Structures are given as C-alpha cells and as structure tokens.
Amino acid sequence: MRKNEEQQLNINPSAPKAEFVLRLFVTGASPNSVRAISNLKELCEQYLPGKYSLEVIDVYQETEVAQQEQIVALPLLIKKYPFPERRLIGDLSDTDKVLKGLGLKAH
C-alpha cells in the first residue's frame, strides 16, 4: 500500500500496520447501521483481534467520501486491504458470508 493511500484511509503511520483495512459506510444511527457496526466489531474482535483497522463513516456527515467511493447501498463494508478490494452490503449478520467476503473462509 502506498503512503498516500495510508493517509487517505486515516491510518496512523507510526502505529503497527493493520493486516485488514476496513471502511464501514452507514446512515446515521439507523437500526441497520447500528446492527452493522455491532456485528462487524464483534466479528473483528473474534476473528481479527489486533489485526484490523476499522473506519466507520456516516454518509450524512461525510457526503464527499461516499461520492468518491461510489456508494449505491447502505450499510456497506469495503475491505480496502489486503487486496483485492471487496464490498459487502447489509447489516453483516451473516457471519459466514462476511468471513468469505473478507477472505477468511474458503468459498
């Protein structure tokens, strides 16, 4: 990952490198958004403890970022790193599907 990409992702360059860089786009405190945040944090702590960076982005407050990422449905999880980039839509309650999308489980 290039240095300017790290800065765009708001990663602290002096912090240990995260193995997974995740961005979760939500719509305020809607029920689906709250579930997605909770489900993803729980999943990351269980399967990626200390190995991930998670940025939660409220599209109501950061419309430019949502436009740059070409968001079409919410909540949306984007796995930026490791490559390839993956996008998962929904409240992330299907653990199996999320693990497969993150590349942590064989298809």
* pLDDT level of residue 107 (50, 70, 90 thresholds): low
Question: Please, what are the domains in the chain?
Answer: 18-101 (3.40.30.10)
- Which one, of 16, 17, 22, lies nearest residue 81 by Cα? 22
Whole-number mean pLDDT of the chain?
Answer: 86
Q: Is 32 left (phi over 0), alpha (psi -120 to 50) or beta?
A: alpha
**pLDDT tens digits, one per residue of 65-102:** 989 999 989 999 999 999 999 999 999 999 999 999 99
Q: Which residue has the higher pLDDT, 14 or 18?
A: 18
- Residues 52, 19: contact at Cβ < 8 Å? yes
Q: How far apart are CA 82 and CA 29, in angstroms?
A: 28
Using only C-alpha atoms, the chain has a radius of gyration, in whole angstroms, of 13
Other C-beta atoms lying within 10 Å of the C-beta of residue 36: 26
Q: How many CB atoms lie within 10 A of CB 78?
A: 17
